[in-house]
Amino acid sequence: MRSTMTAVLERAALVTDELATEPYELPWAQEARFFVQAHELTGTLELTTEISPDGLTWCPADVPVLRAETPGMTSWLVTGFGQWLRVRCRVSGDPGAAARLRIYLVGKS
Amino acid sequence: MSIAAPAAYAGLSKYDPLGRILCFDRFDSTTHGWTELIGNYNGQGDLGTVDDHMRDFRPPQLSSCSFFDVGTHGTLSGNYALKLATRAYRGHTATGIRRLTMAGRGRVRIETYFAFKAEATVGHELPASVAWDGNRHPSESQFGAFTVATDICADNGVRYHNVIRYQNTNLDGEMTQRWMYPVVPEPTPRDHQEGKFALPYAADFTAPDPDDWRYFDEPLEMCVNEVPTKINWHYLRWDIDTSTRSNVELRLNDRVMDMSDVPVPIYPDRYSTLDNLLNFYFSVRTHANIRNFLFLDSVLISVDW
C-alpha cells in the first residue's frame, strides 16, 4: 500500500506582497501536489514552486509559474523533487491587492 | 524485555516497555498518528476563531535528517524520523500529538529516542551566548526547549497534564540545561471563551507565564555534539500513574530522576466529551529567531493494565 500525507502549510495567511511557505520535507514521496485555496483575492496571485536539497537554499522547480485572479482553488503536481518543497506566493496589482490563503501539500510514495 | 532479545525484536529491544504495549511507532511508514495540534474553533469551521497562540503549531514531517554539509544522516532505526520544526520566530512552538483513550488506570510509560537541533546558519550569524572555540558552537545556545506532556481526563471530567520540559536556554538565550514542570494547568480554549485569558501568537501554550515553571533535578548536559548537523540519539523514558494522577520517574540515558514529588495540577472545573482521554504530545519551542527541530526516531507507549 502506498503512503500519503497531507500537511496544512498555511491556514489563513494574509499575503499583501510575498510569502514563501515554511520548508517542508518529503524525502519519502515520489510525487506531491500543492493545493492553494484563495479565500479572498484582489489583484494577481503568482505561485512559484521551489525545491531545496537542504531546506536552506532554494531554486525554482521544473514547474510552470501559475497565476490566479479570482478566489478559488489552484492545484498542481510536482515530481522528481529533492527532499524539500515550498511555494512562493506573490500578490501584485492595484494598491491594496491581497490574498487570504490556505495551502495544503499532499505527498504520496 | 531481556537484554538477549531475539534478533527479530531488534527494534523493540532498545526499549523497556511495561506489560502491554499500546503503540510502537517507527517512522519509516507514516506518522503513526502523531499529528499537528490545533486549538478549538466554532461550529462553522471558522479557523479565525482559533486562539492566536494555538493556530500555528506546524505539521510534523518525516525527515531523513539531511543537512547542508553531509547530506543524509539517517536515523537510529531506519530512514526517517518524525520531525517537529518551529518557525524562525522567537517563542514559536511546533507540536506533534497522539490521541488515545484509557482502558484502565495505572502506570503509563512513554519512551523515545530523540535528538534536537537549531537550524544551521549558513552565510549569516545570529546572536548566541556560546562562541565557537573549535569544540563548542553557537548553535548549542540557539535551541530553546522541548516538552513531553500528556492531556488526560477521566472520572467525571477531572482533567490534568503531566508535563516535563527540557529547557536548554532561557528566553534570553543563556544556557540553563534544566528540567522543568509547570505549576498551573494549560490554558484551554474554553478558558478563553469564558474570558479568562487572551494570549498572543507564540505565547507558551503549555503555561504562558515563565513564573509558573519550576526546575527539578540537577542541570543535565545533553550530547549535542558540537555542530548543528550531527545527530546523536538520546533515550528518554517517562513514567506516570493515572490511578493517582501523578508523576513517577524520568530517565534520560543514564540519569534517573524520581518525579514522585513533582506535582500535577488539575483543572478546577470539569470537562465534557473527554472521558478516558489519554493524549501525549511532544513540542519544541524556539527562544530566538531561528528554527528549532525535535527529531523522534521512534516512540513506544506501554501500560501496566
Residue pLDDT tens, chain A, 109 long: 899 999 999 999 999 999 999 999 999 999 999 999 999 999 999 999 999 999 999 999 999 999 999 999 999 999 999 899 999 999 999 999 999 999 999 999 9
Q: Which of A8, A9, A54 lies closest to B68 in CB terms?
A: A54
Stretch B28-39: mean pLDDT: 93
Calculate what percentage of chain B has a pLDDT beyond 70: 97
Contact criterion met (CB < 8 Å) for A25 and B55: no
Within 8 A of B61 by CB-CB distance, chain A residues are 7, 24-26
**If interface means Cβ-Cβ distance under 8 Å, which residues of chain A face chain B?**
3, 5, 7-9, 11-12, 22-28, 53-57, 83
B8: pLDDT confidence band, cut at 50, 70 and 90? low
* pLDDT for res B189: 82
Chain A residue with CA closest to B89: the answer is: A22
| Residue with more model confidence, B97 or B42 | B97
* B119 neighbourhood in chain A, CB within 8 Å: 55-56
Cα–Cα distance measured from residue B9 to residue B212, given in angstroms and rounded to the nearest whole number: 42
Phi, psi torsion values for B158, nearest 5 degrees = -75, 120
| A25 with B83: Cβ contact below 8 A | yes
Cα–Cα distance measured from residue A79 to residue A67, given in angstroms and rounded to the nearest whole number: 20
CB A20 within 8 A of CB A87: yes
**What is the number of other CB atoms lying within 10 angstroms of the CB of residue A36?**
24
pLDDT (tens digit, 9 = 90+) per residue, B46-60? 888 899 999 999 999
CA A94 – CA B19 distance, rounded (Å): 66
pLDDT beyond 80 at B250: yes
How far is C-alpha B20 from the geometric centre of its chain's CA atoms? 23
Which residues on chain B place their C-beta less than 8 Å from a C-beta of chain A? Answer: 29-31, 36, 47-48, 55-56, 58-59, 61-64, 66-68, 72, 79-80, 83, 85, 87, 119-120, 122
Mutate to test the interface with A, among B61, B291, B296 (most CBs of A within 10 A): B61
Q: Which of B27, B62, B79 to mutate against chain A (most A CBs within 10 Å)?
A: B62
What confidence tens digit (pLDDT) does each residue in B173-229 have?
999 999 999 999 998 888 888 888 889 999 999 999 999 999 999 999 999 999 999
Nearest CA in chain A to B79: A28
Q: Count CB pairs under 8 A between chains A and B.
A: 55
Q: Do A28 and B62 touch (CB under 8 A)?
A: yes
All three cell numbers of B190, joined, read: 474554553
B1 pLDDT band, cuts 50/70/90, is very low
CB B117 within 8 A of CB B228: yes
pLDDT of residue A81: 92
Q: Of A9, A12, A23, which has the smallest distance from its Cβ to B48's Cβ?
A: A12
Nearest CB neighbour to B58, from listed A22, A57, A83: A22
Which whole-number Å values give the CA distances from B235 to A102, B87, B217, in the listed order?
Answer: 37, 26, 17
Q: What amino acid is encoded at B285 in this protein?
A: R
Of A8, A24, A54, nearest to B61 by CB-CB distance is: A24
Q: Do A11 and B62 touch (CB under 8 A)?
A: no
Let me know: does B57 contact B95? Beta carbons within 8 Å: yes
What Rg do the C-alpha atoms of chain A give, in angstroms? 14
Closest B-chain CA to A5: B30
Length of chain B, in residues: 305
pLDDT band at B5 (very low <50, low <70, confident <90, very high): low
What's the confidence (pLDDT) of residue B55? 95
Q: What is the ipTM of this complex?
A: 0.96
Q: Which of B55, B67, B119 sits opposite A11 (nearest CB)?
A: B55
Q: Are B257 and B249 in contact (CB under 8 A)?
A: yes
Contact: A8, B59; criterion CB under 8 Å: yes
Q: Do A54 and B67 touch (CB under 8 A)?
A: yes
Q: Do B59 and A9 touch (CB under 8 A)?
A: yes
What is the pLDDT at residue B53? 93
Instruction: Please say whether the beta carbons of B119 and B292 come within 8 A.
Output: yes
Q: Judge: A54–B47 Cβ closer than 8 Å, yes or no.
A: no
pLDDT of residue B3: 53
Tell me the pLDDT of chain B averaged across its residues: 94
